[in-house]
Structure 1
Amino acid sequence: MEHILRPIYQERASQPETLGVIIVKKVDNIENITDTFDSVLLIIVKEADIPVFTKHYIHQELKMVMHVITEEILNKWLFIGSKRQVVDWIFNGKIVFDRNEYLVNLKSKLHEKPLYGSKIKTGIQFSKLLRRVMEGKEQFNKGNYLDAYSKVTESLHHLARLSVLEKGLYPEVTVWSQVKKIQPAIYKLYEELLFSKESLEKKLELLFLAIEFMINSRTHDGAQHILETMLQKETWAIQQLHTHKELKYYSGDLEVFIEYLIDKGYITVEPITSKNESIQHRYYKVDRDLVESEYVL
């Protein structure tokens, strides 16, 4: 397989923006690792006009896919977990080109304890959990129990991923198999959602209470990344937070997270005078004394 793809990746490897090239072969009976292709050619570049560029190839009965991705997209996939196969590709794929040991160093970072990027991964999952619980309670209060059920299911998945990250592991595609072993209390909540004989209304009511308790117990770890980042400067406009190189990965959940941390006292609102005297800008500031008393920075 490699000799078939060699002319393709050698051309890319000769380009100065190419950082590394990995070939991943399909494992029998595990087609999801390579998205059903016989092999994946992953090419990482420093920058590109198209952040994710994909081509499909065939050779006799074989089908192959090439992904050319930017370093920023790779980091996004690693931090957010939106393409969980990429971790397997980096760990188990064959490195066929590596500029200045970029991929070797990346694999070393991914093997480190605590996990490479564990704080931001935890923060992102925590913010998603907050959003789903907020949406679920809103639907519950309106009497839309099936919609609330859907949001509770999503909430439990984010809670499951958080529990895996707490153990210094990567959330796998089969995350509940992991959670059953390492966090049985959260697995029990999932079983309650699926199999409890209670009415749907009562089941949801009890689950919201349990999830909110677990949110409160995880606020310290869930908020660490965003609070440490915000301590880099005195005050922040919301657009500055949205465009920060790491906070942008929180995406649409960022503002819900900010409001939650205001309620918890970690962040204060700073009114700033605007051109219009009748209205003020709303800026945000970390309560430094509180944060420094709770975290070792």
Structure 2
Amino acid sequence: MEDILRPIYQERASHDNTLGIIKIEKKHKAATLTDNFDVILLMIVKEQTKPIYIKHYQYEDKKAALHIVSEQQLKEWLLLGSNRKIVEWIYEGKILFDRNDYMEDLRNELKDFPFYGRKIKIGLEFAKLIKRYMDGKAFFETGQYLDAFNHIVHSLHHLGRLSIIENGYHPELTVWNQVKQIEPEIFKLYEELIKSEEPIEKRLELLFLASEFLIFSRTPVGAEHLLEVMETRDQWSMDEISNHLEIVHYGVDFSLLLEYLIEKDFIQVVEIETKGSGLFHRCYRIEK
């Protein structure tokens, strides 16, 4: 099929806007990596009107997809971890075109996993973990065990991804294979939740107790990025900190993360008087 697709990518490779093109072929053991397409062509461009442009092709019994992605969109995915397939595409793909070693340099950067990028990723993953854990606990306390189960499974998933990132690796699509090697304690918790024959209420009760310690022990690392940002000023209003250039990426997970860090004495609430009697503005600073 490559002969059929060659004119598509060769013509685009001649454009100055094109930075690199890689090909990812379907492997039977991981067909979902290519969304069940036989071939994915990933093209990175400096800029385009839409951040992502996708075209599908059919040739006899084969199907292919062309993904044209702006460099800015690619960087956002890599920073936020919001497209997990993209890392494996870059790792696994065959480089067809590489302007000034752009794709090769990108691969090397991903392998090195710069500490600064890792710190942001840890913060974002920790925020997701706290959100899922707190929501799951709230459902458990009101007797909604199936909803609590759903949230605690997701929280363990985020805990596993967090441990992988801490150890300097990018989480793969098959994250539990990585967790089993890197953090067997978390893997064991996950297995106990899924495979145990105990009633669901009992399983959840035991898991919340075990998770509480694991989460708290990771709080200094998980909150490091946020706390470093907050150290740059004496105090912050909610609007100021939530709209900070880096913290804005935490999105809907941020509010619960903030409350968790207040509860655990990492962040202090500062009350500032308003014109209303007994009413205060609520601001935040690093616990001193």
Give yes or no for TM over 0.5: yes
Which residue number corresponds to residue 128 of structure 1? Answer: 128
Which residue number corresponds to residue 211 of structure 1? Answer: 211
Amino acid aligned to 2:68? V
Cα deviation, 1:59-118, whole Å, max 9, x if unaligned, reads 233211111222333233324433322112111212233334332222111111666722
Cα distance in 2 for residues equivalent to 1:185 and 1:286: 31
More divergent stretch after superposition (169-178 vs 133-142): 169-178
Cα distance in 2 for residues equivalent to 1:235 and 1:4: 60
CA contact (8 A) 1:38 1:62 kept: yes
Cα distance in 2 for residues equivalent to 1:11 and 1:87: 25
CA contact (8 A) 2:126 2:158 kept: yes
Which residue number corresponds to residue 227 of structure 1? Answer: 227
Residues 1:47 and 1:62: Cα distance change in structure 2 (over 3 Å): same
Shift of 1:144: 0.9
Residues 1:46 and 1:263: Cα distance change in structure 2 (over 3 Å): farther
5+ residue gaps, structure 2: none
SS in 1 for 2:223: helix
CA contact (8 A) 1:115 1:169 kept: no
Which residue number corresponds to residue 176 of structure 1? Answer: 176
Cα distance in 2 for residues equivalent to 1:282 and 1:13: 54
Amino acid aligned to 1:277? K
More divergent stretch after superposition (58-67 vs 146-155): 58-67
Residues 1:232 and 1:41: Cα distance change in structure 2 (over 3 Å): farther
SS in 2 for 1:50: coil
CA contact (8 A) 2:131 2:253 kept: yes
Cα distance in 1 for residues equivalent to 2:9 and 2:80: 27
Residues 1:39 and 1:212: Cα distance change in structure 2 (over 3 Å): same
5+ residue gaps, structure 1: 291-297
Cα deviation, 1:201-229, whole Å, max 9, x if unaligned, reads 22211111111111110001111122223
CA contact (8 A) 1:109 1:115 kept: no
Cα deviation, 1:232-274, whole Å, max 9, x if unaligned, reads 445444444444443333221012112222223333345568x
Which residue number corresponds to residue 153 of structure 2? Answer: 153
Cα deviation, 1:22-79, whole Å, max 9, x if unaligned, reads 2222234431221111211112233433222211112233211111222333233324
Which residue number corresponds to residue 275 of structure 2? Answer: 277
CA contact (8 A) 1:109 1:116 kept: no
Cα distance in 1 for residues equivalent to 2:196 and 2:280: 50
More divergent stretch after superposition (78-87 vs 157-166): 78-87
Asked if residue 72 in structure 1 is aligned to residue 72 in structure 2, the reply is yes
Shift of 1:8: 2.8
Cα distance in 2 for residues equivalent to 1:146 and 1:222: 28
Which residue number corresponds to residue 259 of structure 1? Answer: 259
Percent identical pairs in the alignment equals 49
Amino acid aligned to 1:166? E
Residues 1:284 and 1:10: Cα distance change in structure 2 (over 3 Å): farther
Which residue number corresponds to residue 57 of structure 2? Answer: 57
Cα distance in 2 for residues equivalent to 1:257 and 1:184: 26
Which residue number corresponds to residue 196 of structure 1? Answer: 196
State how 1:102-117 maps to structure 2 within 5 Å.
102-112=102-112, 117=117
Residues 1:68 and 1:137: Cα distance change in structure 2 (over 3 Å): same
CA contact (8 A) 1:110 1:116 kept: no
SS in 2 for 1:117: helix
Cα distance in 1 for residues equivalent to 2:241 and 2:8: 40
Amino acid aligned to 2:275? E
CA contact (8 A) 2:113 2:169 kept: no
Cα deviation, 1:135-159, whole Å, max 9, x if unaligned, reads 1111111111111111111111111
Cα distance in 2 for residues equivalent to 1:20 and 1:234: 44
Cα distance in 2 for residues equivalent to 1:229 and 1:5: 47
Cα deviation, 1:150-200, whole Å, max 9, x if unaligned, reads 111111111111222233222222222222233221122112212334332
CA RMSD of aligned residues (A): 2.6
Amino acid aligned to 2:130? L
Residues 1:158 and 1:25: Cα distance change in structure 2 (over 3 Å): same
TM-score normalised per structure 2:
0.86
SS in 2 for 1:219: helix
Amino acid aligned to 1:176? W
Residues 1:270 and 1:191: Cα distance change in structure 2 (over 3 Å): same
Amino acid aligned to 1:198? E
